[in-house]
Chains A and B, each alone.
Chain A
């Protein structure tokens, strides 16, 4: 059974600190955050990651120094190396999730002093969770008097804490807890302890509703076409009572059920909302970015377009009823999901004001809609796409492709994309690529054959493009700033799944290579688990690099500024130092190679009054700094780099900012490789220092 370990580490000090902040007496039932705070995961419910602060600016960014730091090693029974959280800062306290326990910590935002911590010991249920570690964050709610913190444990329990003490609020759910595996319009199978469903994103609180989606294991090689479904629910912020549910896979009789032929809606699962949800409180509308249905790369068991898979769905905040939807990808075959927060933007197009929603994607398209009606701001016509020939697969013959703005990152692989530093390198790359099927966006996966193709070579698929960190939006310039991996090449080949491995006809794999039962994170792998089939390993290991150099040409990773009034790029830059492997390459010695950016997909941006700020995702060792990564600042009008500050490890959680006691801080989560998770707060040196 679980056991609660909530502790007040320094109650007296905490009271002094909290007492010293002058939060105004409640004047209304609604909480009105200041723009010096960061009250929700993406700064606001519109998903902007924007704060109009300017103490840290182009003239002093490089002077930043570490104000405080906190390692997350001890918030769990082992260190974590993938710290993805973005903290909140509200009413003079910084809150974050941390450590392999996914503990909640409250810190003094000026000093980093620990005020309280809360963790749930979930035993086997936590160990079996599909999405472990510290997750991306939490949510804050206040009615001006009471303050609450919400988060979801790895074992899929919604926890409500008193923001002042870190203790569960007894009147919420059952003693401060709602079991999210219950009351979900489905029986989670096989049982509550091991049943696959969870979430790693931060909850969203809008008005008095907490909204929670769902996530599952990676879906490359699922064991079955059957899985639990990822419905979205709204809960009362005071009582924990379920207010509504939205069936991301429609039930019989509901709109969209007939897009699942042969009754496949009954058994297909996943199709959750695992990333951040966006809300327009004024309109009372919620924007749900829905992921792929069960089996990322093979859909033969779910013929049809599969609504609401890979759709942007707008529902009513009070009832969860669907207002409109737009399916970005029919019959998902590429694991494009919709992986990040929709961004709300009030823009002016052809002289007319539009309340818009802009959706960055793995496939590098920014889809822009009128967020009231769901009508595309610029046409998104259906275009013919290649139809594949994997046995049993069902193909959509068209896909919607935006006419504006243009794709901001590569979303296919063509010969022209291959490395071209020298003609010899291009030839080597062509040789590697010749083993694969190539094509533009929406080129379908192939069955993998020893004689070729081994699979389809893709970009802008499982990794993206833009993955979970999403983009930022600047309400002053009407620009979206969005990072994208421009070199995350992924081969997608399919092999018949042995019956002992999966009941799905085809799973991801490479011809001639051993297929075994694949254990995902959180999967119990005890003595009684099924033994893998004995098969002779065959085929040699093929690599997708050319003498260690990336298969495709730079830029490897970019930040693009896209103006939403015009649907056009304002600027695009390579983000990140040129990788060591390129800078130190003997083959490239003497060549003048401009900064390339880096091959990584988990970079989030922050936009302030004047800057776009983002850290690097790879370690480099250069003449200018020891092994580490840089947090970089760009002029938001031009994209010109105006400063950089050293981090000991790559950025793995998106940066946030706030002001406290007259000073601006930037906090970023770093980790990876040998470096365990750490939140680092940067600020400017005090006057006179």
Chain B
């Protein structure tokens, strides 16, 4: 969703323009709102399952605190978030599916990869929700990865 920063909210004109554009956005919005990682796209239970798989399959290189190692990037923190900001959860899922674990890419099931992803989202403090994360890349591509928490909808 478009976010508008009111850096210079000094003129009535700007406010009026925003009001107009919000109306337009509402008019153009798709039938189903697209979601982001801030909309509770995984469950706590799933993240717990993912943590168990992560410890076994990923922690040796990415570290038990996900801060990376000599040969693996961090999976939490500013650099990680900036890396995926503006892309989709599906992009991140595909990256895991295609290349991880490094010794045997694709060895894990989609469910396991999805669970690991849920764990990563929880560590990065994206909120849990009531439904589990999808297991299909195409569906996950509908979930936007946004580093910053969007302003509350009014």
Contact = CB atoms under 8 A, between A and B. Distances in A.
A525 B105 CA distance: 11
B66 to A, nearest CB: 9
Interface string A617-646: 111110000010000000000000000000
A469 interface: no
Interface string A516-547: 11111111110000001000010001111100
Interface of A is mostly: loop
A627 B82 CA distance: 8
Contacts of A491: 65
Contacts of B60: 217-218, 220-221, 518-521, 523
Interface string B92-112: 100100110111110100000
A524 B104 CA distance: 8
Contacts of B137: none
A581 interface: yes
A486 to B, nearest CB: 14
Interface string B50-92: 0110011101110111011111010011110111111100011
Interface in A561-603: 579-582, 584, 598-600
State the 3 A-B residue pairs at the shortest beta-carbon distance, nearest first: A581-B78, A673-B83, A518-B60
B140 interface: no
Given A537-B51, A537-B52, A523 B103 contact: yes
Nearest to A542: B65
B56 A517 contact: yes
B83 A619 contact: yes
Contact of A81 (B78, B79, B99, B103): B99
A514 interface: yes
Given A514-B52, A672-B73, A525 B81 contact: no
17 contacts: A78-B99, A217-B60, A218-B60, A220-B69, A463-B69, A516-B55, A541-B65, A548-B125, A549-B78, A550-B78, A599-B78, A621-B85, A627-B86, A672-B83, A673-B83, A673-B95, A674-B92
Contacts of A81: 95, 99
A28 B58 CA distance: 53
Given A517-B56, A521-B71, A674-B84, A580 B95 contact: no
A462 B70 contact: yes
B65 to A, nearest CB: 7
Contacts of B52: 514, 537
Contacts of B64: 508-510, 513
Interface centre among B76, B102, B107 (most CB of A within 10 A): B102
A160 to B, nearest CB: 27
Given A218-B70, A543-B123, A674-B87, A79 B79 contact: no
Contacts of A617: 79
A467 interface: yes
B128 interface: no
B22 interface: no
Contacts of A82: 71, 73
Contacts of B91: 674
B146 to A, nearest CB: 11
B103 A525 contact: yes
Contacts of B92: 674
Given A218-B61, A518-B60, A620 B55 contact: no
B19 interface: no
Nearest to A468: B70
B101 to A, nearest CB: 7
A35 interface: no
A132 B102 contact: yes
Contacts of B99: 78-81
Given A525-B104, A582-B78, 12 more contacts: A221-B60, A463-B68, A521-B101, A523-B60, A525-B57, A543-B65, A545-B76, A548-B77, A584-B147, A621-B82, A627-B82, A674-B91
Interface of B: 48, 51-52, 55-57, 59-61, 63-65, 67-71, 73, 76-79, 81-87, 91-92, 95, 98-99, 101-105, 107, 123, 125, 147-148
Interface range on chain A: under 10, 10 to 19, 20 to 34, or 35 or more? 35 or more
Nearest to A626: B86
B84 A580 contact: no
B103 A581 contact: no
Given A218-B70, A545-B77, A522 B102 contact: yes
Given A467-B70, A520-B61, A543-B65, A579 B123 contact: no
B54 to A, nearest CB: 10
A393 interface: no
B83 A674 contact: yes
A541 B103 contact: no
A517 B55 CA distance: 8
Contact of B101 (A217, A218, A510, A525): A525
B38 to A, nearest CB: 14
A127 interface: yes
Contacts of A550: 77-78
Contact of A674 (B56, B95, B103, B104): B95
A599 B77 contact: yes
A543 B76 contact: yes
Nearest to B55: A516
Contacts of A127: 103-104
Interface centre among A509, A520, A532, A542 (most CB of B within 10 A): A520
Interface centre among B81, B85, B86 (most CB of A within 10 A): B85
A684 B90 CA distance: 38
A247 B142 CA distance: 56
B85 A580 contact: yes
Given A544-B65, A621-B86, A524 B103 contact: yes
A490 interface: yes
Nearest to B56: A516
A618 B82 CA distance: 8
B16 to A, nearest CB: 25
A450 to B, nearest CB: 15
Given A218-B71, A518-B59, A543-B123, A619 B82 contact: yes
B99 to A, nearest CB: 6
A288 B67 CA distance: 30
Interface centre among B52, B91, B99 (most CB of A within 10 A): B99
Contacts of A463: 68-70
A461 to B, nearest CB: 10
A255 to B, nearest CB: 30
A584 B79 contact: no
Contacts of A672: 73, 83
Contact of B123 (A532, A541, A549, A582): A541
